[in-house]
């Protein structure tokens, strides 16, 4: 008997040891495996502000462009696609995804320089200059002791950086707030040009409070040195240029400076116009310096502007403005950019900015006699081909802050706009009174900002919610949506989109309607996104943006609109908004009871009566079992304690610090906190922490290994000390690293797997569009 008892005890003890070991192994961080993925952009084409185009002056087909927060691109002259150059930038270097300026070495077409940095505020790191000797295939980096503002006012001005055409080691870089800088070793090191004039700009005397100061700084203040130009006639094969021009975004004071001793001293150019701020300049082969001006740097509103030319030979200034705004009639516009035909110094084009329909519409003006007479390009019968990006047909051209005539082909010209750009191959037809044809030139550029991603259980591969251009239904990931972006209603920003898990033909989206759809801030589809219609009503006249949840059967929607903000700047007030529900497609709405204002709510993926919300930092879980009419509150006990709300927890637009409901499992919840991943299978009674996960920026689900397996998990963050994109096929026990150092894309906001294809994942970026990845076969 004692022997039997001892045997039983031994078995129990061994079982306990094995179980304890198993649990310890589950809780302990596991080794990370990796899997190669093939990554492609979901094709939207453009979707953001391309603010600069740079042709090499002599090497035909060598062309680059820069964006305000989506990196830089080189155009492949064979495929006519733009190829991204900065996808290797990590989260820690996301600030460098904004490119302030690009410079090419006129004597070596393989050399390219990028001045990088997105913002100049105190919270943002200093910028860097990236240099490449192989046309951007690889880069070396020099950190600089100042900030750049590639996504600030004046970002379309330029170019701020230039390389001496005879000595490629000499590079000048104009900054916003730190003056003029120079490199004499090909961008390896930089020093401040101490002899350059003081260009500090103080606020006007009538500004007495912080809000008005911020308004002036953002909308009216200049943006530093906006262009540097070498006069190639002042140098030779064995001597660097002695004459250099620098334009500064100053108003009512000297704003064009010249050095005649290779940058040692600088003086204002005599007789210059000072009533505007310079925006662009180009030096023609005959010595004529053409300049465009506006009352502000743009894209803040310009009240006035002009075009002037300066004869560097006889030192004479001449105004050549093609169309002067009639301010008495309420017209207010300026001029954004200028380009000159390298083969004909009297042939040029300039672009307007802010010239709305009442003044004739935004246009490009063309002159073949040095600006003495002008014709309009679009007003003269220009036509547009939108086929490469169908959504652009719904959006008028705007923000033409760079226009360029190809130095190797005077018939080929490009201009930038807020969603990419256009090009023509028959520019000179305008000189004979014939129409020009413009087509989308942005193929390869993907600059959208993803605000939410939905891959429904059936139907389209992906439905995207993006900033500025609403979003798309992506039936074919490799082609732009033929029907364009969301319509009826059309949004600027779409902040949230959701479908009914068990009836995915029902899709609901919320955002901010455009002027033509004012007040229609929620739309829905009953056929999987083929057609849309606005909801019958809003729960409150100011309901907009926020987050939408749709019950598993599609009959209940719960909307948590954004707070209503009063004022533009930090410190402005906001009014909280209740959480609302409807059982009738928005015909009537009622406030959800028992849940705090502005709480993000999600639907259970199985039970149509269940919804969830959290107050993460107070440890509260809110549960509705009656279709959102009321919520009960439950204490949420997370292993290791509750996170601290005052810490830096990533960008607020990302997918961290949220609750997620697992597909196919009622009451199965995941909390993707910025600093940890927690899982509950009992509707929040208990949570288990994944010890492998240290940081999260986005989280989502995709199809499991088989039809019967638990959904695969996808995560952007840090796992076992490694930053990247990860997949788990076993409920977070083990993680697979699925991206590499060449595919990082700076800052990432959202991720979701595809519930129809195991292994496929969609990643939403901050300015590099939406990527999709599949395992390499």
Mean pLDDT value of segment 423-427: 98
CB atoms under 10 Å from CB of 515, counted, come to: 7
Contact 746, 697 (CB under 8 A): no
Straight-line distance from the first to the last Cα atom of the chain, in angstroms, rounded to the nearest whole number: 61
Token pair recorded at residue 626: 């009656």
pLDDT of residue 647: 78
Q: Rounded to the nearest 10 degrees, how much is the dihedral formed by the CA atoms of 163, 169, 173, 179?
A: -140
Q: What's the full length of the chain, in residues?
A: 777
Rounded CA-CA distance 431/94 in Å is 45
DSSP 125: P
Residue 565 has pLDDT above 90, yes or no: no
What is the tens place of the pLDDT at every residue in 314-341? 999 999 999 999 888 888 999 999 999 9
Q: Using CB atoms within 10 A of its CB, is residue 373 exposed (0-12), middle (13-18) or buried (19+)? A: exposed
Sheet holding 305-311, edge to edge: 277-283, 288-294, 305-311, 316-319
How high is the pLDDT of residue 15? 43
Report helix, strand or coil for 683: coil
> Is it the case that residue 5 has pLDDT exceeding 50?
no
| DSSP state letter for 328 | G
CA-CA distance, 606 to 614, in Å (whole number)?
19
Helix (H, G, I), strand (E, B) or coil at 216: helix
What is the model's pLDDT at position 355? 92
At 29 the pLDDT is 52
The strand ranges marked E within 233-353 are 244-248, 256-259, 267-268, 277-283, 288-294, 305-311, 316-319, 334-341, 344-353
β partners of residue 751: 763
Q: What is the mean pLDDT of residues 506-526?
A: 91
Looking only at the bridges linking them, the beta strands covering 601-603 and 256-259 are unpaired
Q: 178 Cβ partners below 8 Å, 6+ apart?
A: 145, 146, 147, 192, 224
> Please, which residues have CB within 8 angstroms of residue 298's CB and are 6 or more apart in sequence?
153, 154, 156, 157, 279, 334, 336, 353, 354, 399, 401
Neighbouring C-beta atoms of residue 548, cutoff 10 Å? 27
CA dihedral 654, 764, 598, 634 (to 10 degrees): -70
Q: How many CB atoms lie within 10 A of CB 749?
A: 24
The model's pLDDT over 438-462, given as tens digits with 9 standing for 90+, comes to: 999 999 999 999 999 999 999 999 9
CA distance 739 to 757: 18
> pLDDT value at position 98?
98
Closest CA to 385 of 426, 415, 423: 423
Give the pLDDT confidence score for residue 13 in this predicted structure: 40
> Which tens digits make up the pLDDT trace of 171-221?
999 999 999 999 999 999 999 999 999 999 988 888 878 778 888 887 889
In this prediction, residue 359 carries a pLDDT of: 67
What pLDDT sits at residue 646? 75
Pair of tokens at residue 173: 């870089």
> How many whole angstroms separate alpha carbon 713 and alpha carbon 729?
7
Within 8 A by CB and 6+ apart from 526, the residues are 505, 506
pLDDT digits (tens, 9 = 90+) for 207-257: 878 778 888 887 889 999 999 999 999 999 999 999 999 999 999 999 999
**CA–CA separation, 445 vs 77, rounded Å?**
15
Query: What's the pTM value of the predicted model, to 2 decimals?
Result: 0.94
What pLDDT does 216 receive? 82
For residue range 65-82, what is the model confidence (pLDDT) as tens digits? Answer: 999 999 999 999 999 999
User: For 30-34, 108-112, 128-132, which range has the lowest pLDDT when averaged over its residues?
Assistant: 30-34
pLDDT, average across residues 299-306: 94
Using CA atoms of 749, 719, 666, 495 in order, give the dihedral in degrees to the nearest 10. Answer: -10
Q: Which pair of structure tokens corresponds to residue 654?
A: 């990302």
Q: Are 353 and 399 within 8 A, CB to CB?
A: yes
Q: Which two tokens stand for residue 707?
A: 């039809």
Instruction: Give the integer Cα–Cα distance in Å for 224 and 216.
Output: 15
Is 37 within 8 Å of 27 (Cβ atoms)? Answer: no
Q: What is the pLDDT of residue 18?
A: 38
Q: Whole-angstrom Cα distance, residue 366 to residue 410? A: 12
Q: What is the mean pLDDT of residues 33-56?
A: 97
Q: Is the pLDDT of residue 775 over 60?
A: yes
The DSSP-derived string for 142-153 is: EE-SS---TTST
Q: Provide the annotated active-site residues.
A: 68, 468
Judge whether 658 and 648 are in contact, CB under 8 Å.
Answer: no
pLDDT value, residue 26? 40
Contacts of 440 (CB under 8 A, 6+ apart): 45, 46, 385, 386, 387, 388, 389, 392, 420, 421, 422
């Amino acid at each position: 008997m004692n022997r039997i008892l001892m045997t039983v005890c031994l078995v129990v003890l061994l079982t306990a040891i094995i179980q304890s070991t198993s649990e310890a192994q589950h809780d302990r961080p596991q080794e990370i495996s990796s899997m190669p993925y093939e990554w492609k952009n979901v094709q939207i084409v453009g979707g953001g502000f391309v603010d600069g185009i740079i042709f090499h002056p002599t090497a035909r087909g060598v062309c680059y462009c820069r964006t305000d927060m989506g990196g830089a691109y080189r155009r492949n002259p064979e495929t006519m696609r733009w190829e991204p150059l900065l996808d290797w930038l990590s989260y820690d270097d996301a600030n460098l995804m904004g490119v302030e300026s690009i410079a090419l070495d006129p004597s070596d077409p393989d050399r390219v320089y990028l001045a990088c940095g997105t913002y100049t505020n105190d919270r943002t790191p200093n910028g860097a200059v990236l240099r490449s000797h192989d046309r951007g295939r690889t880069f070396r980096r020099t950190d600089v002791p100042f900030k750049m503002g590639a996504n600030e006012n004046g970002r379309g001005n330029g170019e701020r950086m230039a390389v001496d055409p005879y000595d490629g080691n000499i590079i000048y870089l104009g900054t916003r707030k730190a003056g003029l800088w120079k490199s004499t070793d090909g961008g390896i090191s930089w020093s401040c040009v101490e002899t350059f004039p003081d260009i500090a700009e103080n606020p006007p005397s009538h500004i007495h409070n912080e809000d008005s100061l911020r308004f002036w700084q953002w909308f009216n203040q200049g943006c530093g040195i906006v262009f540097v130009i070498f006069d190639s006639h002042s140098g030779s094969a064995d001597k660097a240029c002695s004459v250099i021009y620098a334009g500064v975004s100053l108003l009512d004071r000297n704003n064009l400076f010249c050095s005649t001793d290779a940058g040692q001293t600088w003086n204002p150019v005599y007789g210059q116009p000072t009533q505007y701020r310079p925006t662009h300049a180009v030096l023609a082969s005959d010595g004529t310096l053409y300049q465009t001006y506006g009352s502000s740097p743009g894209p803040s509103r310009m009240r006035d502007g002009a075009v002037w030319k300066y004869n560097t030979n006889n030192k004479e200034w001449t105004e050549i403005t093609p169309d002067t705004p009639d301010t008495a009639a309420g017209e207010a516009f300026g001029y954004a950019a200028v380009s000159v035909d390298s083969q004909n110094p009297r042939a040029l084009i300039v672009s307007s900015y802010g010239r709305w329909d009442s003044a004739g519409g935004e246009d490009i003006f063309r002159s073949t006699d040095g600006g003495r007479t002008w014709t309009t390009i679009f007003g003269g019968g220009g036509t547009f081909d939108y086929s490469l990006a169908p959504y652009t047909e719904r959006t008028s051209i705007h923000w033409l802050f760079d226009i360029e005539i190809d130095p190797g082909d005077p018939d080929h010209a490009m201009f930038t706009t807020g969603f990419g750009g256009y090009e023509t191959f028959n520019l000179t037809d305008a000189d004979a009174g014939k129409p020009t044809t413009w087509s989308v030139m942005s193929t390869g550029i993907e600059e959208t900002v993803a605000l939410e991603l939905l891959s429904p259980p059936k139907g389209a591969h992906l439905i995207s919610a993006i900033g500025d251009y609403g979003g798309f239904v992506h039936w074919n990931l490799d082609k732009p949506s033929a029907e364009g972006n969301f319509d009826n209603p059309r949004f600027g920003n779409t902040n949230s989109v959701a479908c009914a898990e068990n009836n995915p033909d029902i899709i609901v989206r919320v955002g901010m309607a455009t002027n033509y759809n004012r007040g229609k801030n929620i739309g829905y589809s009953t056929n999987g996104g083929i057609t849309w219609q606005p909801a019958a009503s809003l729960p409150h006249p100011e309901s907009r943006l926020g987050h939408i949840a749709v019950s598993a059967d599609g009959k209940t929607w719960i909307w948590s609109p954004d707070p209503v903000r009063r004022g533009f700047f930090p410190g402005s007030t906001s009014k909280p908004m209740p959480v609302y529900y409807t059982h009738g497609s928005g015909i009537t709405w009622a406030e959800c009871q028992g849940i705090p204002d502005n709480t993000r709510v999600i639907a259970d993926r199985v039970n149509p009566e269940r919804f969830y919300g959290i107050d993460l930092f107070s440890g509260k879980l809110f549960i509705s079992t009656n279709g959102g009419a009321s919520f009960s509150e439950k204490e949420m006990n997370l292993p290791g304690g509750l996170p601290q709300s005052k810490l830096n927890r990533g960008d607020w637009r990302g997918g961290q610090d949220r609750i997620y409901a697992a597909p196919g499992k009622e009451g199965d919840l995941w909390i993707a906190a910025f600093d940890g991943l927690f899982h509950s299978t009992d509707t929040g009674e208990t949570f288990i922490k994944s010890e492998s996960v240290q940081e999260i920026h986005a989280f989502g689900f995709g199809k499991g290994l088989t039809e019967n397996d638990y959904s695969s998990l996808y995560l952007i963050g840090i796992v076992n000390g490694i930053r990247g994109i990860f997949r788990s096929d076993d409920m977070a026990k083990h993680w697979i690293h699925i991206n590499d150092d060449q595919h990082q894309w700076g800052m990432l906001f959202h991720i979701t797997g595809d519930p129809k294809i195991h292994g496929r994942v969609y990643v939403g970026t901050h300015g590099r569009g939406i990527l999709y990845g599949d395992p390499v076969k």
